[in-house]
Amino acid sequence: MGGLMEIYKPMKKARSELLIKHHFFGKLVMHLELVETDQVDTMATDGSKIYYNKDFVDTLTHKEIVGVQVHEVLHVVFKHHLRRGKRDKHFWNVAGDYVINAVAKEGGFTLPEGALFNPDYAGMSTEKIYSLIYNDAELKEQHANISCAGEVIDAVNEQTGKALTEVEIKELEQQVTLDVIQAEQSAKNIGQNGDAFKSMINSVKTQSVAWNEVLCDLVVSQHTTSDYNFNRANRRFIYQNMYLPSVEHEPLLTLCWGWDVSGSVEEEEKAVYTDIINTVNATLNVGKNIIIYCDNAVRKVDVFEQGEEVELEYYRGGGTDFEPVFKYIDKELDNEIDSLVYLTDGYGYTDEKYEPDYPVFWATTGTSKYFKFGEVVEVD
């Protein structure tokens, strides 16, 4: 579908608004390439692209263009491109629209006239709504010729064009789940959304993606180049149910790992954190790992060169202060690192004046309210 061409300005303008005003949807929509085509009547997504018909876009207001892109993002969030199975394509799309339009309307987004919405379907799954409509002769007839403002297309193997295998579907489902969790964690106003949105997020969070997988994927994603392929999992980790990207070329990285050794951090967390570090190392081409043990001061620093397996020591200290780690990286390492991952209970103080240029990831076993910058992953 489609070809290489300049993206139509109204589509880019709508995407920019999502990035600025609706960070959750903005972060997710950036995973979807925009492709202009006359092979769809309106818009459609296969989970990796949003296909749009320029003539259809010309009939919409700016707010409606924003709303339909949110509509397509929600098709992906609910994994409609992966879950259809042998169900009828049209009625699967109809059922999916009832689910996602409820979330979009609750979020204040504007959808084109005629967009499907029925409060009687509130809280129902796409499969349930499909069954109700498809197996009821009257409802089926009512919906047979309905045109959907935004469609969903089954995902296929991008290399072969063939239907996905069960393993490939599972890989893509896991990646969508990770993307949604990351978007939710990075959105500042996420708590302002309504019940339908919260139900959606809660449903995603129950889909067996552990916090350590989210953290690993965040770090790996930060150092992603065009040579990383998130549509193909790194098969070295599938046996652990870890779905990380395959990598064809990796830059040499220097990673810092802050290890909160205050009295509130437990010894069993050492093994989990060690595993995370070595998993990231096996996925990225890490030239150097620098482990900084800190309570209210830097107590110990270990350096592991490329190819060395990282082993953490258990060190039990006193109170918690995050600033010594940033000061150490500034003074001793001249800030020449690619990222810092800090495992802590969160009960410490951060000052915005210490926000560095390199990415910071917090993995917190306790609270996240004291972090003034960086990406946060909450440890279950």
Calculate mean pLDDT across residues 216-232: 57
Average pLDDT over residues 284-297: 91
> The domain spanning residue 336 has which CATH number?
3.40.50
pLDDT tens readout for residues 55-96: 999 999 999 999 999 999 999 999 999 999 989 999 999 999
Task: Specify whether 289 is located in the same domain as 156.
Answer: no
Same domain, yes or no, for 359 and 254? yes
pTM: 0.63
pLDDT value, residue 51: 97
Q: Which domain holds residue 301?
A: 211-378
Residue 4 included in any domain: no
Where is the domain boundary, 205, 233, 261?
205
Q: CA–CA separation, 218 vs 251, rounded Å?
A: 17
2 located within any domain = no
**pLDDT single digits (tens) 10-20:** 999 999 999 88
How many other C-beta atoms are found inside a 10 Å radius of the C-beta of residue 290?
19
Sign of CA dihedral 191, 193, 194, 199: negative
My answer on whether 201 and 298 are in the same domain is no
Q: In this predicted structure, what is the pLDDT of residue 237?
A: 44
In a domain, 3, yes or no: no
> Are 111 and 13 within one domain?
yes
Residue 159 and residue 284 in one domain: no
pLDDT of 206 reads 62
Q: How many CB atoms lie within 10 A of CB 236?
A: 13
User: Is 132 found in the same domain as 71?
Assistant: yes
Residue 297 lies in a domain: yes
Residues 159-206 have pLDDT tens digits of 999 999 988 998 898 889 888 888 887 775 555 567 888 888 877 766
Helix/strand/coil for 7: coil
% of the chain at pLDDT higher than 90: 50
User: Do 271 and 344 belong together in one domain?
Assistant: yes
Q: Does any domain span residue 1? A: no
Domain membership flag for residue 239: yes
Last residue of a domain, one of 205, 237, 258: 205
Residues 351 and 219 in one domain: yes
Average pLDDT over residues 331-345: 92
Least confident of 63-67, 84-88, 214-218, 289-293: 214-218
Residues 195 and 271 in one domain: no
107/230 same-domain check: no
Domain count, the chain: 2
Distances in whole angstroms, Cα of residue 97 to Cα of each of 190, 260, 379:
22, 46, 34
CA-wise closest residue to 101 among 79, 73, 128: 73
Give the pLDDT score at 198.
Answer: 83
Residues in the chain: 380
Q: Which tens digit of pLDDT belongs to each residue from 247-260?
A: 444 568 999 999 98
Average pLDDT score over residue span 97-105: 95
245 pLDDT more than 50? no
In this structure, the strands spanning 245-247 and 339-344 are unpaired
320 with 362, same domain?
A: yes
- pLDDT exceeds 90 at position 50: yes
Based on the domain organization, do 130 and 242 belong to the same domain?
Answer: no
Residue 338: inside a domain, yes or no? yes
Q: How many other C-beta atoms are found inside a 10 Å radius of the C-beta of residue 237?
A: 16
Question: What secondary structure does DSSP assign to 91-126, as a single string?
Answer: HHHHHHHHHHHHHHHHTT----TT----GGGTT--H
Domain boundary among 180, 205, 230: 205
